[in-house]
Chains A and B, each alone.
Chain A
Amino acid sequence: GAVVSQHPSRVICKSGTSVKIECRSLDFQATTMFWYRQFPKQSLMLMATSNEGSKATYEQGVEKDKFLINHASLTLSTLTVTSAHPEDSSFYICSARAHEFRITEAFFGQGTRLTVV
């Protein structure tokens, strides 16, 4: 299958700072990327869907000003957690698919563990 790379795999930041997480599709053009959040021992909750060159579509209850998503190229999407607080500590996972593929061909990154202290 295709490869999706997330960076960093782990990050610790101070409360009040911003953190950027990158999601790259290495061997295909990802026209659509998805960002998920996973609390400890819980399921993955879809945060937002982004299409290349367009504004992201956020799920209900997700603060768009808090979680900034940029999908400026066909191989890169970024999630920026702004003014991070300890409650933003979580595992964030991205997923990507190409336009010509159905949702059955979405590939996941390895996740980023964010700890806000």
Chain B
Amino acid sequence: AQSVTQLGSHVSVSEGALVLLRCNYSSSVPPYLFWYVQYPNQGLQLLLKYTSAATLVKGINGFEAEFKKSETSFHLTKPSAHMSDAAEYFCAVGRDDKIIFGKGTRLHILP
């Protein structure tokens, strides 16, 4: 069954530093993959999604993710962190016409 594993439940980076949030998927075929962001007491906002059209996916707010089949990874990056990026980030996979979420990574931005 397809699933995703997010490495690190908490990640802290300094403002202006590179953001790297890790996600690995398990699938025998290229899946649909997503990154969502959730601010406290709010719903989900789609950052970006991979649908096999291009391996490097650009999303909103300066985020991007690269699909690497050889590593079964779909890590999320942003060149320069802003304080406003502090939130919970979820990697997710499309499976059997459903979206299944990873456990999430809390991103902390240090001033």
Contact = CB atoms under 8 A, between A and B. Distances in A.
B99 A34 contact: yes
A91 B41 CA distance: 8
A74 interface: no
A13 interface: no
Contact of B90 (A34, A44, A49): A44
Given A49-B98, A109-B43, A113-B41, A104 B103 contact: no
Nearest to A57: B98
B43 A44 contact: no
The main secondary structure of chain A at its interface with chain B is strand
The main secondary structure of chain B at its interface with chain A is strand
A41 B90 CA distance: 12
B90 A103 contact: no
A34 B43 CA distance: 14
A108 interface: yes
A46 B98 contact: yes
Interface in A31-45: 32, 34, 36, 41-45
A69 interface: no
Given A43-B104, A44-B90, A103 B99 contact: yes
Interface of A: 1, 6, 32, 34, 36, 41-46, 49, 91, 93, 95, 102-104, 106, 108-111, 113
Interface of B: 32, 34, 36, 41-44, 46, 49, 51, 90, 94, 97-104, 106
8 contacts: A36-B101, A41-B106, A44-B44, A46-B98, A46-B99, A104-B51, A108-B43, A108-B46
Given A102-B32, A108-B36, A108-B44, 7 more contacts: A41-B106, A42-B104, A43-B101, A44-B90, A95-B99, A103-B98, A104-B32
